[in-house]
Amino acid sequence: MGRSGGLSVTLLAAALALGGCGNSTHVVVDSGVPDAGTPDGGTPDAGTPDSGMPDAGSPDAGTPDAGMPDSGMPDGGTPQAVVDCDPLVPEICGFPFPSDAYTIEDETSPTGLRVRFGPGLMRGSSAAAWDKSDGFSTGNALMTYFDGGAGFGETPVGAVGHIDDGLGADSAIVVIEADTGDRVPYYADFDPLGKPTHQSLLLIRPIVRLKDATRYIVGVRGVRDAGGALVPASPAFAALRDGTPFTDDPSVDARRPRYDDIFGKLSAAGMPRASLQMAWDFTTASDENNWTWLVHMRDDALSRVGPSGPAYTIGEVNDNTNGTTDDDWNPDTIAFRINGTMTVPLYMTGAGPNSDLVFGPDGLPMVNPAQPTAEVPFEVLIPKSALDAPGGLIEYGHGLFGSRSQIENGNFRTFINKNDYVFFGVDLWGMAESDTAAVGFILGTGNLGRISTMFDRLHQGFVNELLVMRMMKTGFANDPTYGKYIDPSRAYYYGISQGGIQGAVFMALSTDIERGVLEVMGQPYSLLVFRSKDFDPFLEILHTAFPDPRVDHLAVGLVQMLWDRVEPNGYSQHIVRDPLPGTEAKEALLRAALGDHQVNNIGAHIIARTMQLPHVDTGIAPHDIFGLTTVTAPLAESAYLEYGFGLPIDPPCTAPQRLCEDPHDKVRKLPSALDDLQTFLSTGMVTNSCPMGICDFPEMSGCGPSDTDDAERMMCTDPVLPWGP
């Protein structure tokens, strides 16, 4: 996703600023969601538990605590979930996850539920940011823990590259829709990051986006230890399964009727009750849970800036039209580099990191009455070709925690000059370079409640992206100096890496473009995080706060629920069909690099399945992708393509590809890919200009003999630990 080296330095510096991170006592502040009796986003809350490091009476990273809350039955009139720490997994609080045991009934929500997490699961952090959720993410990994669990022996189970093995009647794991009994395709593995300390979670990853507002049931059997013996079920689960007494926690008896339903549905799916070692259910959040805030903010912001778009001020301009400038930036392809600021409605408590969304009495984000606007920097490149004919518009989405200045890349300058496009962008607030230190600091404290500020700021960031496109099509296109170089009738989006991922949100929301290209993209982030080398520094810092890989996975699972409101998992299904309210469907071209070290191909396949795209055959064997229809180019519809660079297959375990040269940046540099990019943007036609129609370039692999010898062992059996040995 780009700039991982500089990112590591910035994140580690932020962590060091904590003076020891997880070993300190940290004050928990509110999530930023206004709530009666809750401090605002930034006020320390005296008497609130700390970040969740071991503390008397608080859960540690993995050891049961006799002083932990019990079943979480109603206390003091406040609605409570069935449990805080579920006795089904007594070794560590928070599993299985996600689970309807962490919900309350709420007849006002679309799902009839509301999520409620207790202090044990949250490791003492505020759960206020999750209280708005009416269910769990449609993109979460399904996680549980078996003490000593190491594998499934000869029992079939879904695996990367062998999804069908998990769909048979004899599969070790079944994930079904509760109402229909339909099976969900998945792959499963025991987390390699936990192997050195014998703390491996069982990770079950659906390879499709789950349905919104739907109850699912998970059943697991056949789990064996390293010696091949079946692992016993926990006492609480055994009591539910066998109908035997369990007096240690009242939540077990309270759930017996529900579990009779669970066992009955699993039995109908081919999993007899007596064979089960674990089972649970969960309900996904509603579709509206994800996009309501941003759609409201978009509509409100566009109405406020009016038909001329946001006001803007031009600052520094590099004028290369005479062939020379008074500075060092004078590429022969660019006529003008323009830096300026635009004035946007501000929906945050402040314009910088660590700010929170401001909510009105209707529960929707509102403009901050004390600071109603903010100044957002933008950058525009006008190519020399636009001096002869006005250029179409392309908004660029930058890489991981990057900046708008990435539009200055030499490949982009050549492309826009050759094809006559005006190229521009803003920083994506929330995941921009300016946010790096703040995110690193929050991760280092282990204060999960404050990570909501990142996602709140992403809401504002997408508003800024939408408004800069409106500005370029309206006010800037009529600028007395530079408007003559712009053709506002041609407006597109192009995003790479993070810009390809988060571009799905922009495309689902935009009312100003007709098509766009998402490159080296994927979803959801909870999958991408653990399969990307770029997130090593994030996981390293998180691990300082929670030195247990099981809690690291739980933290990312919790975060995914908030991320859905500002990442493709909440939006990609609305790009080419079923558009969001007030939005038209778009044409989209998605392109991936096989063996990508930064955005893995499993995530790319999930977003392609979610969007129901055809897979264009690019001559790479095997040609078929589970759940996608393979077609040949040319075709006049949205589509997904892959480019090969001779790398080994992606790891079958939850780990990044680290072998050979990273192909992440190579698609954008291929002449044939650039030709196909231009064809799609200008006509909407998907073409394949690779030599002989084969987009496979093994000579670019950079592989050595050690990179392909026993690759699975290198990546899975002896994985690289982000936090070191």
- Alpha-carbon dihedral sign for residues 168, 173, 178, 184: negative
288 SS3 class: helix
105 SS3 class: strand
Give the domain extent around 449: 288-717
Dihedral angle over CA of 339, 343, 349, 350, nearest 10: 30
108 SS3 class: coil
240-288 pLDDT tens trace: 999 999 999 999 999 999 999 999 999 999 999 999 999 999 999 999 9
Q: How many domains does the chain have?
A: 1
Q: pLDDT at position 520, please?
A: 98
Q: pLDDT at position 721, please?
A: 86
Q: pLDDT at position 13, please?
A: 54
With respect to residue 208, please indicate whether it lies within any of the assigned structural domains: no
Regions of the chain where pLDDT drops below 50: 15-16, 18-77
Cβ contact 429:458 at 8 Å: yes
User: What is the value of pTM for the model shown?
Assistant: 0.90
Q: pLDDT at position 712, please?
A: 67
Burial class (CB in 10 A: 0-12, 13-18, 19+), 59: buried
With respect to residue 428, please indicate whether it lies within any of the assigned structural domains: yes
With respect to residue 706, please indicate whether it lies within any of the assigned structural domains: yes
With respect to residue 277, please indicate whether it lies within any of the assigned structural domains: no
302-330 pLDDT tens trace: 999 999 999 999 999 999 987 655 566 77
Q: pLDDT at position 528, please?
A: 98
With respect to residue 416, please indicate whether it lies within any of the assigned structural domains: yes
Q: pLDDT at position 326, please?
A: 54
CA–CA distance, 723 with 725 (Å, rounded to integer): 7
Q: pLDDT at position 14, please?
A: 54
Give the chain's length.
725
Structure tokens at 218: 């998970």
With respect to residue 268, please indicate whether it lies within any of the assigned structural domains: no
CA–CA distance, 32 with 100 (Å, rounded to integer): 25
β-pairing, 312-319 with 334-345? antiparallel
With respect to residue 109, please indicate whether it lies within any of the assigned structural domains: no
Cβ contact 292:134 at 8 Å: no
CB atoms within 10 A of CB 370: 9
CA–CA distance, 642 with 592 (Å, rounded to integer): 5
User: Can you list the pairs that 663-666 forms with residues at least 24 positions away whose Cβ atoms lie under 8 Å?
Assistant: 663/593, 663/594, 663/595, 663/596, 663/597, 663/700, 663/701, 664/1, 664/2, 664/497, 664/520, 664/593, 664/596, 664/597, 664/598, 664/599, 665/2, 666/593, 666/697, 666/700
In 3-state terms the chain splits into helix, strand, coil percentages (rounded to 5) of 35, 20, 50
Q: pLDDT at position 55, please?
A: 36
With respect to residue 150, please indicate whether it lies within any of the assigned structural domains: no
Structure tokens at 362: 């209707």
Question: CA-CA distances (angstroms) from residue 108 to 75, 112, 217?
Answer: 22, 7, 24
Q: What is the CATH number of the domain that holds 546?
A: 3.40.50.1820
CA–CA distance, 603 with 597 (Å, rounded to integer): 12
DSSP string, 521-584: --S-HHHHHHT-GGGHHHHHHHHHHS-SHHHHHHHHHHHHHHHGGGSGGGTGGGSSSSPPTT--
